[in-house]
Amino acid sequence: MGVEPRRIASVALIAGLLCGCSGVDGGTPAGQGGTAGQSPTTGAAATTGSPAAPSTVADPTPESTPGKGPPCDADRCFSVAATGDLLLHPGLWDQAAADAAEDNAPGNAAVPFDFEPLLAGQRNYLDNADLGICHMETPVALPEGPFSGYPQFNVPPQILEAAKTVGYDACTTASNHTIDAGTEGLTRTLDVLDGLGLGHTGSYADEAASGEVLILETPAARVAVIQATYGLNGLIPEQPWQVDLIDADVMTAKARQAREEGADVVIAAIHAGDEYATLPNAQQVEVAHALADSGEVDFIYGHHTHSVLPIEKYNDTWIVYGLGNGVSELSPLHAVNNEGLMIRAQFAESDGDWSVSDLAWVPSIIVSDPYRWCALGPKQAPGTCSSPEREAEVSERIGAVVDTFGAVDDGARPWDLADDS
C-alpha cells in the first residue's frame, strides 16, 4: 500500500505518540490521531491540523484517480480495507520466535520474532486497497520484553513491524486494553507506530494530540478516521484525554472537525459489543445509527467481540458491526474467536459528494502448526487453509451472520480478488 503517514498540528508540526486497543480475552494498546515527521510518497499520507494551519499537501488532483479495487465508474475513487483485533497471546509470539529462528542465517544478527509469516496472507488483499487500517488490540513491550498475555497484555512490538510490511497504513488503538501497561505502555506503543510511519488514532500521548484528527491522504481524497472504545476494563487513565471513550456527540463533533480541516470522507470505528455474540448490542446500534444520522460520517465499522457481526445498510450508510479477530491464538472454547472478516469499502465521488460504491468482504480463519491467517475466498480451492469441511462450515456461518440484516440484497458482496482491476 506504500503509505507514509504524517500529522500537522494546529499551529506547528508535532510528533504523535500513543496507542491502545482491546482483546479476545482482553488486550489493547493506544494510538494517537496521526503521525508526525513523515513525508508522503506516492501512496497516502496522514495529516492533522486546524483549518488555520497551512497545509503542506496539495489538493487532490482533479484528473481521473480510479484508485485500487474493482472498476469504478466515477472519475475519483479510492478504497479502504480494514480488519479486526490484532490480539497476541503467548502461542503467537512463540510461533513468531520459531519463524525468526528459521530466518536467522549464520553470521547475521539474530531477530527474536518474525510475525510477517503470520500476517502474510493479508498482503494480496491490502495491495488491492488504497488504505489499510488495522486495530492494535494491546500495548507493546520493549523489544526484549518482558511480555504478558491475558488479562493485562504487553506484547512483542515486532507485530507492528509485520503490520507495516504486509501493507497497513494506520492502526486504531482505543480498546478496553489500551492502558493494560499504564501510560508507559500506551506511549511506547505510539512511539513504535510513529517510528514505523503508521498513522494512529484513539489514544494519545499528550492533550494537544487528543484534539487532533487523523487524516489519511490518497491521490483521490482526504480520509479522516475517528475511533473510540466502550471502556477500559475498570482501569482509570492518568489523564481523561488519553483514550477516546464512546460518546456519539463527541464523535460527531470530531467528524465535523475533520470536515472543517479538509476531510472529504469520514470513517468511524467503534470498539464495543458483547464478546462472541452474533448480533450487535444496543450500544453498538444506537451509536452507529446516531453517527449515520449526523450526516458527518460516511462509513462505520467495529471490533471487540472476537466474532463476526452483521453488516447493515442504514439510511444509505454502511455499518459493519464487527470484524472479529484479525489474528488471535486458537480458542478451544469459542470457534468464532478463530474467525474474522476483512472488508474493503470503495468510495466514489459524484458532484462533490462521496459515497460507498462497493463493499466487499472475505472471511478468514486462523490455522495452527504453524499459526497463520488465511482467507476463505469465494472461489479458492477447498482445503487451501484447513480441511474442506471446516472451511465450508466457517464460510457458511460467516455468510449467514453478515447477511442477517439483508446486506447482500443491499449490495455487499464476497471479495474475490479476480474481480479487481
DSSP-based three-state secondary structure for 75: coil
| 34-81: pLDDT as tens digits | 333 333 332 345 654 434 444 445 555 557 899 999 999 999 999 999
Asked if pLDDT for residue 118 goes beyond 90, the answer is: yes
Question: How far, in Å, CA of 36 to CA of 33, rounded?
Answer: 10
**Residues 374/386, Cβ–Cβ less than 8 Å:** yes
What are the Cα distances from residue 169, in Å, to 135, 148, 162, 220, 416?
A: 11, 26, 12, 16, 22
Residue 286 is predicted with a pLDDT of 98
Burial 217-232 (b: 16+ CB within 10 A, else e): bbbbbbbbbbbbbbeb
Question: How far, in Å, CA of 164 to CA of 200, rounded?
Answer: 12
Residue 123's Cβ-count burial label (10 Å; 0-12, 13-18, 19+) is middle
| C-alpha closest to that of 270 among 247, 293, 237, 239 | 247
Asked if pLDDT for residue 8 goes beyond 90, the answer is: no
Cβ neighbours of residue 278 closer than 8 Å, sequence gap 6 or more: 307, 308, 309, 310, 336, 401, 404
- State the residue for C-alpha cell 489523564: 239
Supply the mean pLDDT for the chain: 88
Angle formed by the axes of helices 182-196 and 158-166, to 10°? Answer: 30
Which H or E element spans position 134? strand 131-136
Range 103-113 average pLDDT: 72
pLDDT band at 104 (very low <50, low <70, confident <90, very high): confident
pLDDT band at 421 (very low <50, low <70, confident <90, very high): low
Question: How far, in Å, CA of 337 to CA of 305, rounded?
Answer: 8
Cβ neighbours of residue 194 closer than 8 Å, sequence gap 6 or more: 15, 16, 17, 35, 36, 37, 200
Task: Please spell the DSSP secondary structure of 241-290, one letter per residue.
Answer: TSBPBP-HHHHHHHHHHHHHTT-SEEEEEEE---TT-SS--HHHHHHHHH
Range 221-246 average pLDDT: 98
Asked if pLDDT for residue 268 goes beyond 70, the answer is: yes
197 DSSP assignment? T
- Name the CATH topology of 19-419: Purple Acid Phosphatase; chain A, domain 2 (3.60.21)
Range 321-328 average pLDDT: 98
| 77-103: pLDDT as tens digits | 999 999 999 999 999 999 999 999 987
Range 240-253 average pLDDT: 98
- State the residue for C-alpha cell 497497513: 168
**Residues 301/266, Cβ–Cβ less than 8 Å:** no
Residue 103 is predicted with a pLDDT of 78
Residue 109 is predicted with a pLDDT of 61
Asked if pLDDT for residue 27 goes beyond 80, the answer is: no
| 342-399: pLDDT as tens digits | 999 999 999 999 999 999 999 999 999 999 999 999 999 999 999 999 999 999 999 9
Residue 97: CB atoms within 10 A of its CB come to 16
Would you state the cell numbers that stand for residue 217, as one nine-digit string? 491522504
Would you state the cell numbers that stand for residue 295, as one nine-digit string? 450526516
Biggest distance spanned by C-alpha atoms of the chain: 60
Q: Choose the weakest-confidence range: 29-33, 291-295, 308-312.
A: 29-33
Indicate the pairing of strand 339-350 with strand 353-367.
Answer: antiparallel
Residue 46 is predicted with a pLDDT of 60
| C-alpha closest to that of 393 among 370, 376, 381 | 376
Query: What backbone phi and psi angles, to 5 degrees, belong to 20?
Result: 175, 170
**Residues 301/60, Cβ–Cβ less than 8 Å:** no
